[in-house]
Amino acid sequence: MPHGHGHSHDHGGCSHEATDVDHALEMGIEYSLYTKIDLDNTECLNEETDGQGKTVFKPYERRRDLSKFVQSDADEELLFNIPFTGNVKLKGIIVSGANDDSHPNRVKIFKNRPKMSFDDAKAKPDQEFELTRDSRGEIEYSPKVVTFSSVHHLSLYFPSNFGDETTRIYYIGLRGEFTEAHYHGVTICNYESRANAADHKENAFDGVGRAVQ
């Protein structure tokens, strides 16, 4: 279920401001997974302008910056293919758009399915959420941690909005834990330095991840 990040305020002015600042700093740290995205290989299908989709992955404190956004082109659908530079345990998602009918009303989430197409997105997602209009970036959706505990590639499919011809998104925030990818192929070279590398190459990369594809 979506929930807002609310917090209580003291009546004193100083503690009131301090609480707001502390909360913003805390959220900025928690929503830092955008720094672990392989942006060079990130793609957004049906974006109106090439490269627009990548701009919605930005610091939490810039989530209300309306100068950077992605808008759909031919219809209201948008599909993001997001590879990470390691493994992620995904714990929270924020989707922020305009306070109008261009805001997406649903997201379907797929893990570890690189290069998804719109045809692929017709498959059953690992999880999906009905979205609420959120122009301030305050509503968090909580994926099932068990399902999204080892994610090296995330696909977000927005099939529809609240009734507009095109969809617009200003910010997508991702919260969770990040683990660096470890490549065991190097270890194989260390203790079998005279072995034929070709004999081991396929197996070595098979075990560690398609994260490098």
Q: Residue range 92-113: average pLDDT?
A: 98
pLDDT of residue 182: 73
Q: Give the start-to-end residue ranges of the domains of the chain.
A: 3-181, 182-213
pLDDT of 20 strictly over 90: no
Return the CATH class of domain 3-181: mainly beta
Q: What is the pLDDT of residue 18?
A: 61
Residue 155: per-residue pLDDT: 98
pLDDT in tens, 172-207: 999 999 999 876 554 444 444 444 545 444 444 443
* CA–CA distance, 181 with 161 (Å, rounded to integer): 36
pLDDT one-digit tens code per residue, 57-84? 999 999 999 999 999 999 999 999 999 9
Which pLDDT score, from 0 to 100, does residue 26 have? 87
User: Would you list the DSSP string of the chain?
Assistant: --EE------SSHHHHHHHHHHHHHHHHHHT-GGGGB-GGG-EEETBSSTTGGGGG---GGGTT-TTS-EEBSSSS-EEEEEEEEEEEEEEEEEEE--SSTTSB-EEEEEES-TT--TTGGGSPPSEEEEPPP-SSS-EEE---TTTTSSEEEEEEEE--BSS-SS-EE-EEEEEEEEEE---THHHHHHH-TTS-HHHHHHHHHHHH-GGG-
Question: Average pLDDT, stretch 105-131?
Answer: 98
Supply the pTM of this predicted model: 0.77
Tokens at 60, concatenated: 């939490």
Mean pLDDT score of the chain: 84
The residue-averaged pLDDT of 88-113 equals: 98
**Percentage above 90 pLDDT, the chain:** 71
pLDDT at 10 over 90: no
Q: Provide the pLDDT confidence category of residue 22 given band limits of 50, 70 and 90.
A: confident
Instruction: Give the model's pLDDT for residue 1.
Output: 53
Q: What is the pLDDT of residue 152?
A: 98
Task: Report how far residue 147's alpha carbon sits from residue 78's, in angstroms, rounded to the nearest whole number.
Answer: 23
2 touches 128 (CB < 8 A):
no
